[in-house]
Amino acid sequence: MDEFELIRRFFSAQPVQREDVLLGIGDDAALLHVPAAQELVVSTDTLVAGMHFPVNLSAEAVGHRALAVNLSDLAAMGAAPAWALLALTLPEVDEKWLEGFARGFFQLARRFNVALVGGNLARGALNITLSVHGFVPTGEALTRSGAHAGDHVFVTGCLGDAAAGLERLRAGVDAADADSGVRRFCFPEPRITAGLALRGIASAAIDVSDGFAADLGHILQASGVGARIAVASLPLSPALLRHVPREEAERLALSGGDDYELCFTVPPERMQRFESRKGMLDCPVTRLGEIIPEKTLRCMRTDATEWPLNTAGYKHF
């Protein structure tokens, strides 16, 4: 079975059809229509087996993660997802693996109305590169650079579960019988609904992929400010606290990564609007602290001592 037959069998007959896709899979390139008064938001990411996910992770989870981590970038920009391009490199033809991958990918694509409009299939070490495209009304995109002193710092969902889940997977825990932490790693939830609801309210935003402290640090650097965070306020799930001591849970929450939650800031003058719209985020939200003029990140314990940030989160190099 050659690459063209593989594309026809596993990727051409997809569940999402969009009117703005004028020409999708099957030609040299896609023809796509960007609606009037909308800006195109584009992001790309690569997942490498053994680096970004365990080599024995299920194909369905790999397919889900490949799309989810890219959609998370759109969520952080306040963009509505539309299209995806997939470049998939496989060591060999494995029809069962491809079936699982396509199932995980398209189940998530259907939920967020994402059309796969093209890509590439090649032989080599397992590697998944995905580009996603979305729309945001002109001038309404969320960025990292808008935080100011006095803004409140928030995060969606819980932190640390996915990092703990990855550690358990590496220790040999069977993902099929594992706890919610393992599932949080295998099937992250992109906060698209939250990102859309935060347009016009958040002054800055980022998705938490490399670790909360590291990703908040990107906002601080881009905005030229600092932040003071209350470690005791970190949203830790009961499942995480059942598996590890609280101090370890706090470490995982601050620097573990793979949460794909949204960290964002809200100016005081927009807090009333934020409170009225909070229910539209479709997930829990926790206030962790505030933006300060001093260009540093201070994570404070309840005894007024500072948590030593020994890691800056995940880095490729």
Beta bridge partner(s), residue 306 = 300
237 found inside a domain: yes
Mean pLDDT of 35-52: 91
Q: Residues 212-229, buried b or exposed e (16+ Cβ, 10 A)?
A: bbbbbbbbbeebebbbbb
Claim to verify: residue 168 and residue 198 sit in the same structural domain? yes
Structural domain for 82, as ranges = 3-137
pLDDT > 80? residue 3:
no
To the nearest whole percent, how much of the chain has pLDDT over 70? 95
Cα four-point dihedral sign 97, 99, 104, 106: positive
Q: Identify the pLDDT of residue 14.
A: 79
Q: Identify the pLDDT of residue 10.
A: 77
Claim to verify: residue 89 and residue 130 sit in the same structural domain? yes
Claim to verify: residue 186 and residue 287 sit in the same structural domain? yes
Last residue of a domain, one of 137, 172, 192: 137
308 found inside a domain: no
Q: Identify the pLDDT of residue 308.
A: 84
Helix (H) or strand (E) holding 307: none
Query: Greatest CA separation found in the chain?
Result: 64
Claim to verify: residue 266 and residue 207 sit in the same structural domain? yes
146 found inside a domain: no
Mean pLDDT of 74-83: 98
Which one of 46-50, 177-181, 223-227, 256-260 scores highest in mean pLDDT?
223-227
Claim to verify: residue 196 and residue 219 sit in the same structural domain? yes
Tokens of 104: 């995980």
Q: Identify the pLDDT of residue 304.
A: 86
Closest C-alpha among 144, 158, 151, 112 to residue 283: 158
Mean pLDDT of 97-108: 96
165-216 per-position pLDDT tens digit = 998 888 877 666 667 788 999 999 999 999 999 999 999 999 999 999 999 9
236 found inside a domain: yes
Q: What is the CATH number of the domain that holds 168?
A: 3.90.650.10
The region that residue 96 occupies, defined by phi over 0 for left and psi between -120 and 50 for alpha, beta otherwise, is alpha
